[in-house]
Amino acid sequence: MNHPRSSAVRLAIGWVTLFLIGTDLFVVSPLLPPIAHQFTQTPATAGWMVSIFSIMYAIGAPWLGAWSDKVGRRPVIVMGLVGFAIANALTSVAPNFLVLLVSRMLAGISAAAVTPTIYAVTGDVAPFDQRGKWLAIVGSGLLMALWAGAPIGTMLAQVVGWQGVFRTLAAISGIVLVGNAAVWPSRAARTATHPQQMDGKSFRAVIGGVMITTFWGAAVYGFYTYLGTGLRLFDHFSAGMLATSIVIYGVGATLGSLLGGRLADRWGAGQVASASLLGLGLLLVIIGMGFDFGPWLDPFFFLLSLAGYAFFPSYQARLAQDFPERRGYAMAWNNSALYIGIGIGSVFGGWIIRAMPFPALPVMCGVIAIGGAAVSYGRIKQGAKRITKQNATPR
């Protein structure tokens, strides 16, 4: 049984670790303009910093998660944080854009070692009747990074430059590494079901299930990655106005995530996830049609993130229901699906802002979200038909 004090310390270390990882990812968006200027790249090309991070994360997460089942959680977390510190230090001193991209590749694979393993070890050590609560507390660190870490980094960049932000992240990574090495057990219980034991049918079912998260990731982060660029260049926001907009967006995201979990318990996880995608899509289209409204966009940013971020916890709950015997594997692939969506969205978004006026980006991302909602509603109907058929079959 966990001692209350040790439990609080573990929760705090897990929360801070995910806050750090999230800050590293989310702070890139508002820093893209000065980074692009430093390396004489367009904002769209600079957006590859996000794309390459996401691609490496998506590739590495399932396999690094499985590796942590074999060698233990703590070694994988420590190894990942070592790589993460090196990656951010390299980002801060990159002499050219190619080295910058290499540093973000290392950051992405390092984050893939840390984030899923933090979730896994939290599930390992949490009391059985508080597992959901523990995971929610630790996971809130990522969303807090969206509305607190990114603005803090943006304001810090005004004082020490964007390179100083990544130097700071590297230094904090070293401190967080020590904390993680101290609080987590050296070994973890082996899972009952390993990825290599899955048959082709089960694998296809999991991939089909997590595919909808890719729609969501592409829609949300295709827009968010270039939000700072759009507000700076299209609406001429100052650094302070940009930080305010990101805080408002992030507060809505945090509240939406908490609300999504509660609504999923009450109304059904699939229904809430589908409605969230639909609301996200419609609000993105509205924002695109009125992107020249300047500061008046902030209430719409709040509504957008409130509606849109209800998706992730509700869809996680849906996957937990759909794959009770392969829950860990489904969650790992869902994490990868998210980052695949982020990578697709950032590449797609870069192409859009290069070829069209910036307001076309939220409109196109809205179309992606609405498409995802249609697929999600379709899966709900298929599931209902399957259950009806099973109930009608004589036993």
Does pTM top 0.85 for this prediction?
Answer: no
Q: What domains can be seen in the chain, in order of their start residue?
A: 1-190 (1.20.1250.20), 198-395 (1.20.1250.20)
Indicate if the pLDDT at residue 354 is higher than 70.
Answer: yes
| Average pLDDT of the chain to the nearest whole number | 82
Residue 33 pLDDT: 84
Indicate if the pLDDT at residue 73 is higher than 80.
Answer: yes
Section 153-173 average pLDDT: 91
The most confident of the ranges 128-142, 256-270, 339-353 is 339-353
Angle at 42 between CA 98 and CA 36, to 5 degrees: 60
Residue 193 pLDDT: 43
Indicate if the pLDDT at residue 325 is higher than 90.
Answer: no
- Please, what is the angle between helix 200-224 and helix 327-355, to 10°? 40
Residue 204 pLDDT: 81
Neighbour count for residue 238 (Cβ, 10 Å): 10
Residue 282 pLDDT: 96
pLDDT digit string, tens, across residues 269-307? 788 889 999 999 999 999 999 887 777 888 999 999 999
- Please, what is the angle between helix 131-144 and helix 4-26, to 10°? 30
pLDDT confidence tier of residue 238, bands split at 50, 70 and 90: confident
pLDDT digit string, tens, across residues 7-33? 889 989 999 999 999 899 888 878 888
